[in-house]
Amino acid sequence: MEKKILVTRSSMPPFEEYADEIKDLWESRWLTNFGKKHRQLTEELTAYLGVKNLQLTVNGHMALELALTAMGLEKGSEVITTPFTFASTTHAIVRNGLVPVFCDIRPDDCTLDASKLESLITDRTSAILPVHVYGNICDTDAIEKVAKKHGLRVIYDAAHTFGETYRNEGVGNFGDASIFSFHATKVYNTIEGGAVCYKDGAFGRRLYELVDFGIADEETVTGVGSNAKFNEFTAAMGLCNLRHVDDEIAKRKRVVERYRERLSGIKGLHLNPVQKDVKSNYAYFPVFFDPAEFGKNRDTVMDELAGAGIGARKYFYPLTSDFDCYKGVLPHGRTPVADEKASTVLTLPLYADLTLSDTDRICDIITG
């Protein structure tokens, strides 16, 4: 059997570079709680992402959960979101005592369909939580327009869009806040990690305290916070990986271009379009199979790839609205486009060091 290809492979700096970066921690003995590397990484990421403010967190999920908390949305109010996402998005809403209301997605890029928003707004709606899924940028103009008209907050789940720009603007600048994930499997990783980007200083202060148990100062605890602090070893990994991320993205681009070359224009096989005015990070490569036209369904292709030692993923299946934990608990909503996408999607292996010959081998199996 040929060598196994997993769906992703984490980026790591040369070992010596990381060893060098952590050396001074043996001197300082400052391992966590907003240390020197935390500060440096905050500055470097703020500049790299082109955002006004950035708060590092222990992971992307806590970034989202605590950003929602810091918004101070009324308990029990409704947050309009999509079910075509990772578990984290919906869980963050529910864990805040808020109610997710599921909006359908657009058929071309799988982001929230803003034309369906107004029909879902009630007097209990407090916010919109769209997802820049696969690195596809949402229709930010249309979402902002609806949000403004109805006085709603907007928090973007930007976990997939590290380093992307839309009309030359860093993607973390849209909405009241945007969250990133630096999980090991993402384009840029700090092993585990995440960040909230925001503009409003008072929100930032609340968020900073919530990340550290709600502690405002030594004798004052103002919020029922959590512990979502980012440690110095993780910050060191972040500093190293940031030096290489542009190279990593360039390498991913080669793979994505090869996939597009090989898989475009095939009957019954649908790709997300290349978005106009977007500088992509080439995070994921989803393919959608129409079995009637293509001749094979998604599960068959997945089995064929698995038989050759190649891991592809049904990312995102099932929809979060179909999770066992939400059965009979949440209103399901009607999301026919999301249903269809979830049952036909396969995301193909994609990482910086995937060779073009392996990419070809994957395409041969799909089209064979």
Ligand X SMILES: *Cc1c(COP(=O)(O)O)cnc(C)c1O
Per CB under 6 A, residues contacting ligand X are 59-61, 85-86, 88-89, 131, 157, 159-160, 181, 183, 194
Q: Is the dihedral of CA 118, 121, 122, 127 positive or negative?
A: negative
Q: Two tokens at 284?
A: 């994921």
Q: Is the dihedral of CA 365, 290, 341, 300 positive or negative?
A: negative
**Cβ proximity to ligand X, 49 vs 363, nearer residue:** 49
Backbone angles phi, psi at 98, to 5 degrees: -105, 165
For residue 157, the minimal CB distance to ligand X (Å) is 5
For residue 287, the minimal CB distance to ligand X (Å) is 18
For residue 140, the minimal CB distance to ligand X (Å) is 17
For residue 221, the minimal CB distance to ligand X (Å) is 25
**Cβ proximity to ligand X, 91 vs 206, nearer residue:** 91
**Cβ proximity to ligand X, 275 vs 297, nearer residue:** 275
Q: Could you please report the per-residue DSSP string of 242-304? A: HHHHHHHHHHHHHHHHHHHHHHTT-TTEEEPPPPTTEE------EEEE-HHHHSS-HHHHHHH
**Cβ proximity to ligand X, 58 vs 73, nearer residue:** 58
CA angle 208, 129, 216 (to 5 degrees): 15
Decide: helix, strand or coil at residue 305: helix
Distances (CA, A) of 355 to 112, 246, 256, 352: 33, 18, 11, 8
Minimal CB distance residue for ligand X: 60
Distances (CA, A) of 306 to 4, 44, 193: 9, 40, 30
Q: Which residue from 326, 268, 282, 289 is spatially nearest to 81, judged by alpha carbons?
A: 326
Whole-angstrom Cα distance, residue 66 to residue 68? 5
Whole-angstrom Cα distance, residue 279 to residue 53? 21
**Cβ proximity to ligand X, 160 vs 206, nearer residue:** 160
For residue 322, the minimal CB distance to ligand X (Å) is 16
For residue 59, the minimal CB distance to ligand X (Å) is 4
For residue 131, the minimal CB distance to ligand X (Å) is 5
**Cβ proximity to ligand X, 56 vs 131, nearer residue:** 131
Whole-angstrom Cα distance, residue 365 to residue 360? 9
For residue 177, the minimal CB distance to ligand X (Å) is 14
**Cβ proximity to ligand X, 89 vs 125, nearer residue:** 89
**Cβ proximity to ligand X, 60 vs 223, nearer residue:** 60
For residue 176, the minimal CB distance to ligand X (Å) is 17
**Cβ proximity to ligand X, 160 vs 298, nearer residue:** 160
Whole-angstrom Cα distance, residue 278 to residue 165? 6
How many residues are present in the chain?
368
